Amino acid sequence: MNDPVLRFDRVSKQFGATRAVDDVSLEVRAGEFFALLGPSGCGKTTLMRMAAGFETPDTGAVFIDGADMRATPPHRRPVNMMFQSYALFPHLTVADNIAFGLKRMGVDRATIVTRVAEMVRIAQLQGMERRKPAQLSGGQRQRVALARALARGPKLLLLDEPLGALDRKLREETQFELMQIQKKLNVAFLVVTHDQDEALAMADRIAIMRAGRIEQLGAPGEIYARPRTKFVAGFVGETNFFEGRVIARDAHAIRIETPDGVIEIAHEGFSGDHAIVSVRPERIAPGGAGRNSVAGEVQDVIFRGDHSLARVRLSSGALLRVAADAGALAQGARATFAFGANDGVIVDG
């Protein structure tokens, strides 16, 4: 049970002058929901296509269920992929699209019919079986693509931006559907996405990629609360950075001289003499209470329903993002904002 369904072992891939994937090692465990998250061009899609067999690594190896896949062409690999464009066969009906992979397995007709009916039910496509892809809505197409990819019963499903083509409201509903189906069928999902909300919401584990490398790998809560680098902190969620020279330290905290004053941050074995600190907007409170405080003028306030996000111009000219109760902050007001030594995280540059 602990064997990974997919393992990348030090894979690299070069496209012309760019290193699309740079010495990546990674494991996807059986039954887990794994997200590859990163900006476009970070190599996440190339990495996924290596698992499907559409790209071959220049160096390194890909293992599926423990078997080396280097010499295995895509049509013999025990994984299936849901394409970003869905890639539904336009000349086939919904039922024939779903049956396509089953027919290639050489299973008998009765089994195919039963299996297609099961997939139609899971993807809630009842009544659509005879339609062609062109007669479906975007959401229905997405579900056909999912049903088709799951029909062969793979242990691992690769999903390339599965929600990318859906509008916002549908995207949220579909997130829950995807998670339910994934848990119910106990299939490992490897999802490629550039949307951090999507990754945080759905994944058991996330790998953040940047310029062909994995910058951080962990559970969503861990990545959000303890980003290891400035890139990860900025990419996953909103944040504020304070940066400066370390002017004092003891075993538990350091004091940093920033353009907006000296701040004190807890640390565990940080030894550098220059530090970058990430502080999430919801960790900063208007008012004076807290170890660190900065002052500035509220530049604008964005209403977000349950809370508001204010942008505050600090004396150094930097913008501070602060989450607050709706209506608590007024545009143009001068205020002090405070956060504790444990509200910030020291990150690498």
Partner 1 sequence: MVERARRLGAGRRAILAAPYLWLVAFFLVPLALVFKISLSRSAIAQPPYVPTFDFGEGLSAILDKARTFGLDAYRGLFADPLYFEAYLTSLALAGLATAIAVAIAYPIALAIARSDKRLRPVLIGLAVAPFWTSFLIRVYAWIMILKDEGLFNRALMALGIIDAPLPILATNAAVTIGMVYSYLPFVVLPIYAALEAQDESLREAAADLGAAPLATFLTVTLPLSATGVVAGALLMFIPAVGEFVIPDLLGGSDTMMIGRVMWNDFFENRDWPAASAGAIVLIALLVGPIVWIERRRT
Site pattern 316..335 for partner 1 (x: CB under 8 A):
--------------------
CA geometry: angle at 40 spanning 205 and 158, to 5°?
Answer: 45
CB of 127 to partner 1, least distance (A): 24
Q: Residue 313: helix, strand or coil by DSSP?
A: strand
How far is it, in rounded angstroms, from Cα 32 to Cα 155?
A: 10
**C-alpha distance from residue 302 to each of 54, 69, 257, 329 (Å):** 44, 50, 30, 10
In the 8-state DSSP scheme, what is residue 282?
G
CB of 133 vs partner 1, minimal distance in Å: 11
Q: How far is the CB of 141 from partner 1 (least distance, A)?
A: 13
Written as one string, the DSSP assignment of 53-66 is TSS--SEEEEEETT
Which is nearer to partner 1, 104 or 274 (by Cβ)? 104
CB closer to partner 1 out of 52 and 263: 52
Please say which residue, 49 or 255, places its beta carbon nearer to partner 1.
49
Q: How far is the CB of 203 from partner 1 (least distance, A)?
A: 22
DSSP codes, 233-259 = HHHSS--EEEEEEEEEE-SSEEEEEET
Residue nearer to partner 1 on the CB measure, 43 or 101: 101
Looking at this protein, which amino acid is placed at residue 339? Answer: F
Q: How far is the CB of 6 from partner 1 (least distance, A)?
A: 15
DSSP conformation letters of 31-54: T-EEEEE--TTSSHHHHHHHHHTS
Q: Which amino acid is at 54?
A: F
How many CB atoms sit inside 10 A of residue 43's CB?
Answer: 25
Binding mask 30-69 for partner 1 (x = CB under 8 A): ----------------------xxx---------------
Name which of 89 and 176 has its Cβ closer to partner 1: 89
104 binds partner 1 (CB under 8 A): yes
Select 98 or 310, whichever has its Cβ closest to partner 1: 98
Using the minimum distance from each CB to partner 1, give the nearer residue, 78 or 218. 78
Please give the Cα distance from 73 to 174 (Å, whole number).
Answer: 31
Q: What is the smallest separation between the CB atom of 223 and partner 1, expressed in angstroms? A: 30
Minimum distance from residue 160 beta carbon to partner 1 (Å): 10
Mark residues 156-185: x for contact with partner 1 by CB under 8 A, - for none.
Answer: ------------------------------
How does DSSP classify residue 4? E
Q: Does 85 bind partner 1 (CB under 8 A)?
A: yes
Q: Contact between 16 and partner 1 (CB under 8 A)?
A: no
- Considering only residues 19, 131, 132, 152, which one is a binding residue for partner 1 as defined by CB under 8 A? 152
Residue 131 or 152: which CB sits closer to partner 1?
152
Site residues for partner 1, 131-150, by CB under 8 A, read 148-149
Q: Are strands 292-303 and 274-279 parallel, antiparallel or unpaired?
A: unpaired
Task: Kindly state the tokens that stand for 232.
Answer: 């990860």
d(Cα 35, Cα 26) in Å, to the nearest integer? 12
Q: Which residues contact 122 (CB under 8 A, 6 or more apart)?
A: 147, 150, 181, 184, 185
Is residue 90 within the footprint of partner 1 (CB under 8 A)?
A: yes
**Binder of partner 1 out of 1, 66, 75, 126 (CB under 8 A):** 75
Name the strand (E) or helix (H) holding 208.
strand 205-210
Q: How far apart are CA 88 and CA 118, in angstroms?
A: 19
Residues of this chain that interact with partner 1 (CB under 8 A) are 52-54, 73-76, 79-81, 83, 85, 87-91, 100-101, 104-105, 148-149, 152
